[in-house]
Amino acid sequence: MSEEWIRKAVDQFIINEIDSVPHLEALLMLWNTRPQQWPVDEMAKALYVSPDRAQRIMQELAWRGLIATQAEPERYSYVPQSEEKDALMGSVDEIYRRELVRISRMIHGKVPSAVREFARAFRFTKEKEKE
């Protein structure tokens, strides 16, 4: 695969799956320390966020199927879903390290996910009305 294709795949992944820099950093931390399982309080310290914020981040990543969760005691880890997804994560990690400012700006420039979901619901409703 070409460098340009990989970069586009990484950008698309970030646009579709990552809501904030702490989301990306949590995901990459789990990916880089796999198969280690992280409790929320340790992740909060590593990300410099409150435990409540770390909990939300981890739950959102788990909800998207990007990380795995263990219930008792509650811990999170990265578990590869496929070789392709694992290779993509390697590219995300590499490009984020090289292009930290560009990737951070891309994330900060995104419309918040709640707004995107609302817009999608509205668009779906408007399309139904046209039929």
- Which parts of the chain are beta strand (E)? 68-70, 75-77
Q: For residue 3, what are its two tokens?
A: 């460098």
Tokens representing residue 108 in the block: 């900060």
In the block, tokens 């005691």 appear at 73
**pTM for this model (two decimals):** 0.80
**Residue 76 corresponds to which tokens in the numbers above?**
């999170």
* Mean pLDDT of the residues in the chain: 87
Residue predicted with more confidence, 59 or 117: 59
φ, ψ (nearest 5 deg) of residue 63: -60, -35
Tokens of 110: 């995104």
Residue-wise pLDDT for 33-75, tens only, equals: 999 999 999 999 999 999 999 999 999 999 999 999 988 788 9
What was the pLDDT predicted at 114? 53
Who has greater pLDDT, 97 or 117?
97
The residue ranking higher by pLDDT, 53 or 123, is 53
Q: What residue ranges define each of the domains in the chain, with the CATH number in brackets?
A: 3-130 (1.10.10.10)
Evaluated on CA atoms 100, 101, 106, 112, the torsion sign reads positive
Write down the pLDDT at residue 65: 92
| pLDDT tens digits for range 12-30 | 999 999 999 999 999 999 9
Specify the pLDDT at position 110.
78
What H or E segment, with its residue span, contains residue 77?
strand 75-77
Give the per-residue pLDDT at 81: 83
β pairing state of 75-77 and 68-70: antiparallel
Q: What is the pLDDT of residue 13?
A: 95
